[in-house]
Amino acid sequence: MSEELLAILEQIERERGIKKEVLIEAVESALLTAARKVIDVKPEEELRIELSRDTGKIRAFRNEEEITSIDFGRIAASTARQVIIQKIREAEKEVIFNEFQGRVGEIASGVVYRFDRGNIIVDLLGKAEGMILRHDQSPKEEFKQGQRIRALLTEVKKGQKGAQIFLSRAHPSLVKKLFELEVPEIYEGIVEIKSLARQAGERTKIAVFSKNEKVDSVGACVGMRGNRVRNIVNELQGEKIDIVRYSDDIREYIKAALSPAEVSEIRLDKEKMRAEVIVNYDQLSLAIGKHGQNVRLASKLIGWELDIRTKEALAQAAEEAKVQAEKAQAEELAAKKPKKRKPQESAQGLSALSGVGEKTVGLLAEAGFENLEAIAKTEVKDLLQVKGIGEKKAEKLIKEAREIIRKSRKE
């Protein structure tokens, strides 16, 4: 039994990838539990089981003294079998978890096994099952049971039933990994992916840069007759891919990112990382894209806010701004200019003077004598300038105005 047990453990190690030492320790632990049921051990005594790594012989010790009265043959057979089965299950779960945990961020291949409430369950080549949740699926893709599938491995969790493996067909890194697999220059580091923006199922923009002047970054990604990029498009079931040439010149980078639209002019606000992009009217729809898709992805790709304008709209906006500025200026000047008040409003109190009617009040107000204080402070010669007022009347008005003011102050 001893040699047979070791042979079984070694076979499990080879076939299952579970270390023999782990299995031996598990068997020892189980045998110790079984031995306690047949050996009378006092609380202060220590019971220990050893399984020889060389011969497979099982020995029991009580406080370092070997117990020879116990027969481990029958106990070992049934116990070892149970422990091995349990340990295999646990170890397989651990092996699977560790294997896939180390592959997070890589592409995993498998076969569509079944569908569960909108989620896709993938058989990962018989080793484990992965799940593509509804929100990790590309909206334009459809799969059938038994169909081969590749997806990005995004997360691995430990669950009661083993490793929970989550996959994604919508993650932007899926496209990046597909390019690494399809384009040797990217895998080797000659061509670098600088940035990537994706709307799963619709369109992806990828910015590439060559570290070797002799290698064209865009050409390498496109491949001979477009074979390389076509393979990726087919893998993504028709998703459009724009390969953009990266540039340190932000203007050139913006122009490339907005392709296929042609850009006429770019005005930059580097502090706010915002650019006003001017195009001809016939290029507007191309620059913006369906539902704003092209400009949105371009903006995300370069990390700048992009505002698309046509030359015509820009000229109209400038004209409107000019009109508004002129209107504001006119209103400002009007606000600063003193309003001309009606005689009856501005000449309040002048009617208190004797011999002064409405007509005279109006004449005085027009001449600048709007109240009694103005007349009281003036001189006769100034009042003579008012039509219909002679020297005597002027003297009388000044005197009366001063008297009225004096009396009002006393009161």
Contact, 411 vs 396, CB < 8 A?
Answer: no
> Distance (Å, rounded) from C-alpha 195 to C-alpha 205?
8
Q: Which CATH number fits domain 343-410: 1.10.150.20, 1.20.1250.20, 3.40.50.720, 1.20.1730.10?
A: 1.10.150.20
Q: What is the pLDDT of residue 342?
A: 45
Q: Has residue 254 got a pLDDT over 90?
A: yes
Confidence of residue 2 (pLDDT cuts 50, 70, 90): low
Q: What is the pLDDT of residue 91?
A: 72
Q: What is the pLDDT of residue 74?
A: 62
Per residue in 94-137, pLDDT tens?
878 888 999 999 999 999 999 999 999 999 977 789 999 999 99
Residue 330 corresponds to which tokens in the numbers above? Answer: 């006119």
Higher-confidence position of 224 and 83: 224
Instruction: Quickly name the fold that domain 248-337 has.
Output: GMP Synthetase; Chain A, domain 3 (3.30.300)
Confidence of residue 73 (pLDDT cuts 50, 70, 90): low
Asked if CATH classification 2.40.37.10 holds for the domain at 2-100, the reply, yes or no, is no
Higher-confidence position of 168 and 407: 168
Give the rounded percent of residues in the chain with a pLDDT score beyond 70.
91
Domain limits of the chain? 2-100, 102-168, 172-246, 248-337, 343-410
Q: What is the pLDDT of residue 49?
A: 85
Per residue in 158-185, pLDDT tens?
877 778 999 999 999 999 999 999 999 9
Per residue in 46-56, pLDDT tens?
888 888 888 88
Contact, 210 vs 216, CB < 8 A?
Answer: yes
pTM: 0.64
Q: What is the pLDDT of residue 379?
A: 86
Q: Has residue 85 got a pLDDT over 90?
A: no
Spatial CA neighbour of 11 closest among 97, 83, 84 = 84
Q: Has residue 339 got a pLDDT over 60?
A: no
Contact, 112 vs 141, CB < 8 A?
Answer: no
CATH number of 102-168: 2.40.50.140
Poorest-pLDDT segment among 74-78, 320-324, 364-368, 386-390: 74-78
Contact, 75 vs 57, CB < 8 A?
Answer: no
Q: What is the pLDDT of residue 137?
A: 96
> Distance (Å, rounded) from C-alpha 152 to C-alpha 170?
9
Confidence of residue 328 (pLDDT cuts 50, 70, 90): confident
Residue 266 backbone dihedrals phi, psi, to 5 degrees: -130, 130
Map tokens 């031995």 to a residue.
35
Higher-confidence position of 152 and 8: 152
> Distance (Å, rounded) from C-alpha 121 to C-alpha 134?
11
Q: What is the pLDDT of residue 77?
A: 60
In order, the DSSP letters of 300-322 are HHHTSEEEEEEHHHHHHHHHHHH
Q: What is the pLDDT of residue 96?
A: 83
Confidence of residue 349 (pLDDT cuts 50, 70, 90): confident
How high is the mean pLDDT of the chain? 85
Higher-confidence position of 296 and 86: 296
User: What's the whole-number mean pLDDT along residues 23-39?
Assistant: 80
User: What's the whole-number mean pLDDT along residues 78-83?
Assistant: 68
Domains 2-100 and 172-246 belong to one CATH topology = no
CATH class in words for 172-246: alpha beta
Q: What is the pLDDT of residue 344?
A: 41
Rounded (5°) CA angle 392-395-397 = 110
Contact, 173 vs 105, CB < 8 A?
Answer: yes
